[in-house]
């Protein structure tokens, strides 16, 4: 009598761990310009293959090629480069400010700068983003005052959120930037609700939901897809696949399926997969999805393939779970370098202007930082009023909170 084969649990592992030499040569990266550009009213069934490919515009020589190219003017491209450089410089200063103890916490965008900055340029005034904590480019691409962001990071006397929120959990309605929550995935279904509201009121505005690869495992990801699909909500459902959710590689959230974009198809939502380090490609797909939404054709899912080059946060050391060289080995390169090369190959940019711009941006960020610090940092200088702790729990303060405020002696 043969013994029954014993079961065993499958726990996926990333290919490389600290000490390994990362090698992505087996990762298939389609050639720039090789993926077709369908009409926006295409049926989801006709573009299933796009959820398994990668839309790319910039080739290795920095040329913009194929059907998704040629959408942005020279000025817009230069602006785009500046936005990404600003975000990187901003991150660098704030990372340092955290190390200096001026704030408790920070999260950077290193390597993902193209995703949020290019996307924002495809939106119009009045549209609403429901971001995660790694899309500050949505604000910087609108030339949002850096000082205000820093005031929030420092929880100082000018903090627009009055010291109540963890650093980087910005909220800016006027700039179409929904209040960030620490709870992952919650904003994805809220984005769909906002878009439904716009449709209910026969408005022209659209919404964009944001989620990372790891958080697609949250239940609200599923809720968002069901609602977006059922009501054909004018929403763009963005998945930023940066390969890592803190220490867990994207395979832990993947459930064995091919790509995150492909999940849209289970819900009849057309899906695109795009090179997230290609500013032009990100802008082009965002524009395509926005147009679909504005024409009442319904939701679009976009997966941005990118790489989280930095640590998850200032509380994280990636050397504990992945090779140090992995981000250099990542085949899609650096978004800033790639756009810079494109501008140079177009003859509208130079290494010299790059250095000049870098210096200019650094000065601007430093000046903003100086101004923000004049209003205080977390442990020194001006602070938000303690009285503010009790405000805004409700529209009007109920008696029990008034009593507690008195007890607190404020």
| Least distance CB 176 / other proteins (angstroms) | 11
Asked if 208 interacts with other proteins (CB under 8 A), we say: no
| Least distance CB 219 / other proteins (angstroms) | 6
Report how many residues bind other proteins under the rule CB under 8 A.
Answer: 46
| Least distance CB 314 / other proteins (angstroms) | 21
Report the alpha-carbon distance of residue 101 to residue 328 in Å, rounded: 29
Report the alpha-carbon distance of residue 289 to residue 287 in Å, rounded: 6
Q: Give, as ranges, the residues between 26 and 85 that touch other proteins (CB under 8 A).
A: none
Contacting residue, 66, 137, 193, 234, with other proteins by CB under 8 A: 193
| Least distance CB 167 / other proteins (angstroms) | 13
Judged by beta carbon, residue 193 or residue 311, the one nearer other proteins is 193
Cα-based distances in Å from 144 to 152, 308, 326, 369: 13, 24, 33, 14
Pair 364, 146: CB distance under 8 Å = yes
| Least distance CB 19 / other proteins (angstroms) | 38
* Entry field: residues in the chain: 410
Report the alpha-carbon distance of residue 144 to residue 171 in Å, rounded: 12
| Least distance CB 291 / other proteins (angstroms) | 21
Draw the binding track, 118-147, toward other proteins (x: CB under 8 A; -: no contact). Answer: ----------x-x-----------------
| Least distance CB 168 / other proteins (angstroms) | 13
Q: Give, as ranges, the residues between 212 and 251 that touch other proteins (CB under 8 A).
A: 219-220, 222-224, 226-227, 230
Asked if 410 interacts with other proteins (CB under 8 A), we say: no
Q: Print burial letters for 362-373: b (CB count within 10 Å at least 16), e (below 16).
A: eeebeebbeebb
Contacting residue, 91, 112, 127, 172, with other proteins by CB under 8 A: 172
Judged by beta carbon, residue 263 or residue 308, the one nearer other proteins is 263
Q: Give, as ranges, the residues between 339 and 398 that touch other proteins (CB under 8 A).
A: 392-395, 398
Judged by beta carbon, residue 4 or residue 173, the one nearer other proteins is 173
How many CB atoms within 10 Å of residue 210? Answer: 27
Judged by beta carbon, residue 228 or residue 305, the one nearer other proteins is 228
**Cα 177–Cα 56–Cα 238 angle in degrees, nearest 5:** 30
Pair 58, 339: CB distance under 8 Å = yes
| Least distance CB 185 / other proteins (angstroms) | 9
Contacting residue, 26, 201, 256, 407, with other proteins by CB under 8 A: 201
Residue among 143, 132, 156, 277 at smallest CA distance from 216: 132
Asked if 104 interacts with other proteins (CB under 8 A), we say: no
Judged by beta carbon, residue 50 or residue 184, the one nearer other proteins is 184
Pair 307, 331: CB distance under 8 Å = no
Cα-based distances in Å from 166 to 120, 133, 180, 181, 390: 24, 11, 10, 9, 17
Contacting residue, 37, 79, 82, 164, with other proteins by CB under 8 A: 164
- Contact region with other proteins (CB under 8 A), list: 16-24, 185-193, 291-299, 322-330: 185-193
Draw the binding track, 281-310, toward other proteins (x: CB under 8 A; -: no contact). Answer: ------------------------------
What are φ and ψ of residue 233, in 5° steps?
A: -70, 140
What are φ and ψ of residue 173, in 5° steps?
A: -55, -45
Judged by beta carbon, residue 118 or residue 235, the one nearer other proteins is 235
**Cα 36–Cα 116–Cα 348 angle in degrees, nearest 5:** 70
Contacting residue, 173, 347, 351, 409, with other proteins by CB under 8 A: 173
Q: What is the per-residue DSSP string for 96-127?
A: HHHHTTSSS-----TT-HHHHHHHHTTS-TT-
Report the alpha-carbon distance of residue 134 to residue 115 in Å, rounded: 10
Contacting residue, 64, 138, 153, 195, with other proteins by CB under 8 A: 195
Report the alpha-carbon distance of residue 156 to residue 115 in Å, rounded: 29
Residues that bind other proteins (CB under 8 A): 128, 130, 160-162, 164-165, 169, 171-173, 178-179, 181-183, 186, 188-198, 200-201, 207, 219-220, 222-224, 226-227, 230, 392-395, 398-400
């Amino acid at each position: 009598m043969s013994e029954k084969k014993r079961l065993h649990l499958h726990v996926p592992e990333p290919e490389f761990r600290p000490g390994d030499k990362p090698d992505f040569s087996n990762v298939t990266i389609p050639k720039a310009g090789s993926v077709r550009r369908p009409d926006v009213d295409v049926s989801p069934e006709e573009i299933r293959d796009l959820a398994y490919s990668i839309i790319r515009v910039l080739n290795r020589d920095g040329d913009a090629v194929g059907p998704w190219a040629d959408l942005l003017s020279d000025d817009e491209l230069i602006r785009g480069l500046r936005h990404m450089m600003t975000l990187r410089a901003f991150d660098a200063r704030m990372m340092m400010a955290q190390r200096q103890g001026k704030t408790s916490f920070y999260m950077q965008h290193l390597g993902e700068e193209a995703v949020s900055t290019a996307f924002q340029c495809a939106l119009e005034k009045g549209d609403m983003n429901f971001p995660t904590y790694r899309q500050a480019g949505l604000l910087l691409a609108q030339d949002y005052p850096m000082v205000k962001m820093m005031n929030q990071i420092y929880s100082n006397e000018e903090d627009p959120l009055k010291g109540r929120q963890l650093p980087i959990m910005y909220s800016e309605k006027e700039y179409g930037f929904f209040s960030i929550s620490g709870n992952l995935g919650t904003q994805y279904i809220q984005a769909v609700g906002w878009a439904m509201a716009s449709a209910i009121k026969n408005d022209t505005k659209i919404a964009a939901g944001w989620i990372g690869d790891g958080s697609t495992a949250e239940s609200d990801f599923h809720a968002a897809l069901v609602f977006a699909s059922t009501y054909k909500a004018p929403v763009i459902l963005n998945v930023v696949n940066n390969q890592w959710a803190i220490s867990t590689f994207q395979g832990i959230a993947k459930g064995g399926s091919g790509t995150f974009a492909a999940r849209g198809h289970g819900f009849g939502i057309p899906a695109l997969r795009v090179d997230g380090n290609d500013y032009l490609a990100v802008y082009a797909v965002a524009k395509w999805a926005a147009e679909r939404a504005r024409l009442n054709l319904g939701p679009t899912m976009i997966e941005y393939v990118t790489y989280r080059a930095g640590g998850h946060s200032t509380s994280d050391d990636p050397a504990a779970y992945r090779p140090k060289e992995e981000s250099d080995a990542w085949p899609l390169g650096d978004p800033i370098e790639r756009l810079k090369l494109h501008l140079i190959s177009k003859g509208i940019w130079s290494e010299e202007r790059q250095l000049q711009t870098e210096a200019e941006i650094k000065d601007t960020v430093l000046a903003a930082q100086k101004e923000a610090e004049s209003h205080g940092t977390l442990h020194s200088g001006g602070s938000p009023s303690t009285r503010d702790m009790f405000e805004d729990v409700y529209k009007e303060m109920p008696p029990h909170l008034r009593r507690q405020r008195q007890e607190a002696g404020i």
